[in-house]
Amino acid sequence: MSDAGTGTTGAGWFTPVAAGVQPVDLNIEVPHPARMYDYYLGGKENFPADRETAEQAIAAFPNTRNAARQNRAFLVRAVRHLVGEVGIHQFLDIGTGIPTSPNLHEVAQGIAPDTRVVYADNDPTVLALH
C-alpha cells in the first residue's frame, strides 16, 4: 500500500484523520478481500498478508487475476457505451472497491466531462481510500 495519507499510531496502520472522520484500523496482518482484489489488478493498495493470500487463491484458481482484470475491462466498455452511445451522464457505482485506474469517473468524464459519479461501498477500508 502506498504510504500516502496513512500512518502508524502505535498498534498498527490507520487511515488519516480527516475532519469529523474516525480513523480506520487497516489491520494489515489480516488479508482483506478488497486489497486482494487490488493486488489482482496490479494496484499498490495492498500489504504482504493480502498478497500472500491472493497468491494462494491464484494457485488454487489460476484464472483469478484474469477474471478481475476482465471484470474491470467490462466496466470500461460498458461505461463507454452508456456515456458515448446512450447518453447517460450520471452513475451510482455501488460496491466500487479500492480506487483503481481507470476508474468509472475517468472513463465517463473522458467522453463527457459533465458526467457525475457517486461511489458507494460498505467497507470502511475502501471508503478511507476514496
Which residues of this chain interact with ligand SAM, rule CB under 6 A?
34, 37, 71-72, 75, 94-97, 120-123, 126
Could you tell me which of 70, 35, 72, 66 has the C-alpha nearest to residue 52? 35
- Closest approach of ligand SAM to the CB of residue 10, in Å: 27
- Closest approach of ligand SAM to the CB of residue 68, in Å: 7
Q: Judged by CB, which is closer to ligand SAM: 8, or 69?
A: 69
Q: Judged by CB, which is closer to ligand SAM: 106, or 121?
A: 121
Q: Judged by CB, which is closer to ligand SAM: 9, or 69?
A: 69
Q: Judged by CB, which is closer to ligand SAM: 14, or 37?
A: 37
DSSP 74-88: HHHHHHHHIIIII--
- Closest approach of ligand SAM to the CB of residue 73, in Å: 10
Q: Judged by CB, which is closer to ligand SAM: 9, or 95?
A: 95
Dihedral sign from CA coordinates of 72, 121, 29, 45: positive
Radius of gyration of the chain measured on its C-alpha atoms: 16
The pair phi, psi for residue 8, each rounded to 5°, is: -105, 150
Dihedral sign from CA coordinates of 92, 97, 99, 104: negative
- Closest approach of ligand SAM to the CB of residue 69, in Å: 9
C-beta separation of 119 from 93 below 8 A: yes
- Closest approach of ligand SAM to the CB of residue 2, in Å: 18
